[in-house]
Structure 1
Amino acid sequence: MKRKDFLYLSGMGIGGALLSGIPALGSPVSPGKPLETVDTALKKQLADIALNAARSKGASYADVRIGRYRNQFIITREDKVLNTVDTESYGIGIRVIAGGSWGFAATDKMDKDGIAQAAELAVSIARENARLLKEPVQLAPQNGYGEVTWKTPIEKNGFEIPIKEKAELLLAVNAAAMKSGASFVDSSLFLVNEQKYFASTDGSYIDQDIHRIWPTFTVTKTNDKTGKFETRDALSAPRGMGYEYLIPSAKEKISGITMLYRDRYDMLEDARLAAEQAAAKHSAKTIEAGKYDLVLDPTNLWLTIHESCGHPTELDRVLGYEANFAGTSFLTLDKWESKKFNYGSSLVNIVADKTQKGSLGAVGYDDEGVGTKEWDVIKNGVLVNYQAIRDQAHIIGLKESQGCCYSQSWRDVQFQRMANISLRPGKGQLTPAEMISKVEKGIYIVGDGSYSIDQQRYNFQFSGQLFYEIRDGKIAGMLKDVAYQANTQEFWNSCTAICDERDYRLGGSFFDGKGQPEQVSAVSHGAATARFNGVNVINTARKI
């Protein structure tokens, strides 16, 4: 689900009835209702029922995910609260190997008979699947962890903050934007809590409590004379944090543009700034198409990383297992086997990381019970690895999974999903202002916008929220109608400078879609401001 689609549908008041149809969200509950927790000892008992039933029917391997998922949405527009929606779901998913093949079944009948029947069904499905099997499933070894726990390190649980307080914050954000000249504004807050319990025949019993938060808005400014409108979306990044993310932070000036730091989000300040910038867009100069040096802020670059680095390095896309939904990958195995495929310039180091604090993808263990870690994907511009899970690891010679398996809910089967994929910051000290000062003809791009990319994640086009002309090392004014085009290899080879870790910030997506039936996952992408030389820029203005 795209953010604008969600805001539109929920803003229309469809909210609870519609959102309950999304598998990850479950059924509506009373807003503000406390989320009950299930005793860990009871979850272990329920898991053992499933594991024992699966083994008794002949499963050679089984894992169990007991999940209680809660989501909360608060949606406002100008001076009104349009909707508050709480959803909650609880159930068990059971995955087995029998006859060398996978089988999966799920149920929300959380009693002994219901769980045992689901386990037996999973084994039956596996045996039927085995009739079409060409070669048996081969799992990477995984030692059991015993009984362990992991929690998102939050300071304030957003679900424990009164809805009234959260709604008042959003209304204050709207008021700040309107006071600064906005014609319209909508804002929303999305909270997620996943309480997940994993158990397997390997001997793991893993209890995790995961929190995510996403504050966002769209500010619109109309021109009464022309009838046209301009918008600016929030520059916030959804985060794997608690409500403390919304505590105002320090700010800095970068070439006259106020930017927000990485670990806290001042939503009020961003809304005021958004109104001013949306108004300024009306008088911005339209871009003259041509080649430019681009200075891409992390609020823009994260999406390019997601599409051109994250998706093509997913091993299931490389192997063709994932093809119908958004395509495969140009990064075929022969490129990795050569150990010298030139993905980008020597400055480009792309890392996968499921442990990064504050990121959307941060967990202690994935949905196969594998401890998470960090690993290199692109090193000094060369493709060195992919993203792989337990039944893929042997294909690329790995002795263990990289811990990037995920399911959006207990009722959906887990499969390979993108880890946090990020561009490492530069090693030498460099600020965005210093980077801009060295550009003769360029564009500084802030915020993400529309994009398109082909079915192999190679040829692409990206836009943004804000565009500033760089002339002789200085910001020369605002531009509009800008989009940059390239292919993945050409683009990353044009990277000539990356700011240092002081500028490193996370962006990300709450609704990264993949698979059929489609599942969504949340994933972050970190970067510091980076420079790309000689990139083709087009004018996107609609010609009438």
Structure 2
Amino acid sequence: MKRRDFIHLSGMGMGALLTAGIPATGIPVLGNSVVPEYLLEPGVDVATKKRFADIALNAAKSKGATYTDVRIGRYLQQFMFTREMKVQNIVNAESYGVGIRVIANGTWGFAATSNVTPDAIARCAETAVAIAKANSKFQTEPVVLAPQKGVGDVTWKTPITKNAFEIPVQQKIELLMKVNSEAMKNGAGFVTSNLFFVNEQKYFASTDGTYADQDIHRVWPTFTVTAVDKAAGKFKTRDALSSPMGMGYEYLDGLASEKIAAPNGLVGYRNSYDMVEDAILAAKQAKEKLTAKTVQPGKYDLVLDPNHLGLTIHESVGHPTELDRVLGYEANYAGTSFATLDKWKTKKFNYGSKLVNIVADKLQPHSLGKVGYDDEGVPSKEWDLIKDGILVNYQAIRDQAAILGEKESNGCCYADNWDSVQFQRMPNVSLKHGNEKRSVFDMIKGVDKGIYIIGRGSYSIDQQRYNFQFGGQLFYEIKNGELVGMLDDVAYQSNTQEFWNSCAQLCDKDDYRMFGSFFDGKGQPSQVSAVSHGSATTRFNGVNVINTGRKI
């Protein structure tokens, strides 16, 4: 038995043991369970990947495909779950295989295999063509791809300094135990903490002449602390203010130079994160929430921290500007969009105030969406979605570009695994920072009646991504330019157009930070993707705030 096979089979047995009794986290795990050492085993070399890809390209062409792309993927995951001073679960998983997509008779076909051998790859390519030809009987119009010039042999790697998979499991668990211990010392009655690490080793080849080898890393540390008032029968929670990032383990170094000062002793983290420091503060704030004053409903100016505003951007701008949603392709699962083509065609649709400039990209350093090439071989780029408050574009891939009269794809096509077909997914969608020098302290000084909101909370938004309600983690009342105390039971309600037109002030680049979604779901069958949303602290005037704690 080969060493790789032995480690793999041993890992399956260990994985079965570790996953017994796993909490219902809803976290998607791809592939087979393996031991941690297996995650460091080298994958197939680039020359072999190219040989395998050419086998697929040639086999598909011989059966009548006019276009073919091949993705050879090795997807690695390590997830850790703890509660108080106990480890609940450790997941180590690997998924490895080949996905082949073709156009034959003007129609898409897709097939995949985990048997990565020359014969199996050729059969898989032939199956993809057969599926395309069968589907073509029902195709009314042929697929038209935006042209894409091949770039030859290229490589791209996430610029990490510490590979998270090389850090011993014991060291990671010790970090989580310290997080939990310190939170409990400072008032938490309960605490859960988690680490998520992902490595995508992806090879893409197409008949356009691109052979792209990519090594992508992502990390997400998070926790939830709970403070309890037994006498009153109440409890309050505070989640981590971390953001998932396209980085290695260096994100957890917590370098002081990467912190941004905020009111009330809060810290904004950028490109590094001190998990223990945040857990200590979270425990104290969860206790403070137990006695916080309930909010009086009404109109308030809202000062929204980037760790909060990112989710609002995601739901009210990111999703409604996905072209497949606009066209109704997502209607059955996740809804449509109010930002319809007729609004875009006028080039006058007022999405927000003139301060609102929102860009889509897969370029921001350390972002979850940053890659060299998408899953159609399109180089990463940046483009405007909303410019000076006006809707100017959508998120489109190669077979959608012609609908908009565009000559090239935006490069936002993605599949979450080798056995999933790639389709249009959200890139990073970010609000540009202001150009005038302004800190969050400066912004608060200019607010007479307002609320400063930090962190992601509960939310609700309709199927057209128009009417919504958002909560948060922490709420501070602002009176006459000063923070006067913590509030509770806060949520704001608005519609997308009204909300973004109330955008009145932006902090500058020194306050710019990213929020992220590590497991953003979409499609049928459902797939997940990771995406970041950048912004600086932003002020919105006259927003309707409700009290979520009042009984009806």
TM-score computed with the length of structure 1 as normaliser: 0.96
Q: Distance in 2 between matches of 1:79 and 1:425?
A: 41
1:333 to partner: Cα distance: 0.8
Q: Which amino acid aligns with 2:482?
A: K
1:35 to partner: Cα distance: 3.4
Say whether 1:309 aligns with 2:317. Answer: yes
For structure 1, which runs of at least 5 residues remain unmatched after alignment? Answer: 1-9
SS at match of 2:272: coil
Q: Indicate how the Cα distance of structure 1 residues 160 and 492 shifts in structure 2: closer, same or farther if over 3 A, else same.
A: same
Give the match for residue 91 of structure 1: 97
Give the match for residue 275 of structure 1: 283
Q: Distance in 1 between matches of 2:519 and 2:242?
A: 15
Q: Which amino acid aligns with 1:38?
A: V
Give the match for residue 292 of structure 1: 300
Q: Distance in 2 between matches of 1:523 and 1:317?
A: 17
Q: Distance in 2 between matches of 1:148 and 1:69?
A: 20
Q: Which amino acid aligns with 1:378?
A: I
SS at match of 2:458: strand
1:252 to partner: Cα distance: 4.5
Q: Distance in 1 between matches of 2:479 and 2:153?
A: 60
CA displacement, residues 240-282 of structure 1 (integer Å, 9 cap, x when unaligned): 0000000113245423232133111011110000000000000
Say whether 1:28 aligns with 2:36. Answer: no
Give the match for residue 325 of structure 1: 333
SS at match of 2:429: strand
The 10-residue stretch of structure 1 (224-233 or 61-70) with the greater mean CA deviation from structure 2:
224-233
For residues 115-514 of structure 1, what are the structure 2 equivalents within 5 Å? 115-250=121-256, 251-514=259-522
CA displacement, residues 311-337 of structure 1 (integer Å, 9 cap, x when unaligned): 000111111122112111111111111
Alpha carbons 2:475, 2:486 under 8 Å: kept: yes
Alpha carbons 1:355, 1:374 under 8 Å: kept: yes
Q: Distance in 1 between matches of 2:306 and 2:337?
A: 24
Please list every run of at least 4 consecutive aligned residues from structure 1 whose deviation after the TM superposition is greater than 4 angstroms. 10-13, 16-19
CA displacement, residues 430-464 of structure 1 (integer Å, 9 cap, x when unaligned): 10011001100000000010101111110000000
Q: Which amino acid aligns with 2:30?
A: L
1:367 to partner: Cα distance: 0.2
CA displacement, residues 25-66 of structure 1 (integer Å, 9 cap, x when unaligned): 111111343233111000011111111110000000000000
Alpha carbons 2:228, 2:236 under 8 Å: kept: yes
The 10-residue stretch of structure 1 (70-79 or 513-522) with the greater mean CA deviation from structure 2:
70-79
1:83 to partner: Cα distance: 1.6
Give the match for residue 7 of structure 2: none
SS at match of 2:182: helix
CA displacement, residues 447-486 of structure 1 (integer Å, 9 cap, x when unaligned): 0101011111100000000000001110010001010000
Q: Distance in 2 between matches of 1:11 and 1:516?
A: 30
Match of 2:109 among 92, 100, 103: 103
Q: Distance in 2 between matches of 1:483 and 1:16?
A: 29
Q: Distance in 1 between matches of 2:428 and 2:18?
A: 30
CA displacement, residues 506-539 of structure 1 (integer Å, 9 cap, x when unaligned): 0010111100000000000001000000101111
Give the match for residue 60 of structure 1: 66
1:104 to partner: Cα distance: 0.2
Q: Distance in 2 between matches of 1:257 and 1:350?
A: 30
Q: Distance in 1 between matches of 2:241 and 2:23?
A: 27
Q: Distance in 2 between matches of 1:472 and 1:239?
A: 37
Q: Distance in 1 between matches of 2:25 and 2:33?
A: 10
Q: Distance in 2 between matches of 1:162 and 1:460?
A: 43
1:363 to partner: Cα distance: 0.3
Q: Distance in 2 between matches of 1:395 and 1:248?
A: 46
Alpha carbons 1:11, 1:75 under 8 Å: kept: no
SS at match of 2:331: coil
Q: Distance in 1 between matches of 2:162 and 2:529?
A: 23
Alpha carbons 2:260, 2:270 under 8 Å: kept: no
1:13 to partner: Cα distance: 5.1
Give the match for residue 76 of structure 1: 82
Q: Distance in 2 between matches of 1:16 and 1:116?
A: 41
SS at match of 1:335: helix
1:397 to partner: Cα distance: 1.1
SS at match of 1:464: coil
Alpha carbons 1:467, 1:482 under 8 Å: kept: yes
Q: Distance in 2 between matches of 1:455 and 1:231?
A: 29
Q: Distance in 2 between matches of 1:40 and 1:399?
A: 31
Q: Which amino acid aligns with 1:511?
A: F
Q: Distance in 2 between matches of 1:543 and 1:113?
A: 66
Q: Distance in 2 between matches of 1:470 and 1:64?
A: 55
1:78 to partner: Cα distance: 1.4
1:16 to partner: Cα distance: 10
Percent identical pairs in the alignment equals: 67
Q: Indicate how the Cα distance of structure 1 residues 390 and 376 shifts in structure 2: closer, same or farther if over 3 A, else same.
A: same
Root mean square deviation of aligned Cα: 1.6
SS at match of 2:177: helix
Say whether 1:537 aligns with 2:545. Answer: yes
Alpha carbons 2:260, 2:511 under 8 Å: kept: no
The 10-residue stretch of structure 1 (251-260 or 310-319) with the greater mean CA deviation from structure 2:
251-260
Q: Distance in 1 between matches of 2:440 and 2:41?
A: 44
CA displacement, residues 138-189 of structure 1 (integer Å, 9 cap, x when unaligned): 0000111110000000010000000011111111111111111111111010
Q: Indicate how the Cα distance of structure 1 residues 300 and 179 shifts in structure 2: closer, same or farther if over 3 A, else same.
A: same
Alpha carbons 1:432, 1:499 under 8 Å: kept: yes
Q: Distance in 1 between matches of 2:507 and 2:546?
A: 26
SS at match of 2:72: strand
1:128 to partner: Cα distance: 1.2
Q: Distance in 1 between matches of 2:150 and 2:170?
A: 44
Q: Distance in 2 between matches of 1:17 and 1:67?
A: 27
Q: Distance in 2 between matches of 1:17 and 1:284?
A: 31
Q: Distance in 1 between matches of 2:260 and 2:341?
A: 44
Alpha carbons 1:296, 1:531 under 8 Å: kept: yes
Q: Which amino acid aligns with 2:208?
A: D
Alpha carbons 1:32, 1:162 under 8 Å: kept: no
